[in-house]
Amino acid sequence: MPNKSLAAALLQGKCPRCRQGDVFAYPATRLSKFTVMNTQCAHCELRFEPEPGFYQGAMYVSYAFTVAFIVIIGILLYVLGDPSEWVYIGVVIGVMVLLIPLNYRYSRLLYLYFIGGIKYDRKLATRR
């Protein structure tokens, strides 16, 4: 099996060490369980929570995503005709509610990949 790139593994929610196993137990479209994470990688047995409370720092990544989306939505609405402030508020709230599963998942994935201190191991990726 060919090695996945960092971007492909991150977008698909794969393990940062082997880029094979899934970090989340269910797809993001399953709204009742989009937050459920596997405790460890099925391929390389990496624990996805390096220490208790590890993902509290992912709140900052989530905050950055939220601010970026609010700015992008605000600019788009302004360019498309500068509607009233209630339209801005309604559209921002609606879009942010729709993006909750993606915001949650990718803030945790980015935090795990870049702050978790886990290095990619090519040998583990080709095992099995």
Q: Where exactly are the structural domains of the chain?
A: 6-126
Per-residue model confidence (pLDDT) at position 125: 65
For the chain, how many residues are written?
Answer: 128
91-120, pLDDT tens digit by residue?
A: 999 999 999 999 999 999 999 999 988 888
Residues 6+ apart with CB under 8 A from 37: 23, 24, 25, 48, 49, 108
Output the pTM of the full model. Answer: 0.85
Each residue's pLDDT tens digit, 53-67: 899 999 999 999 999
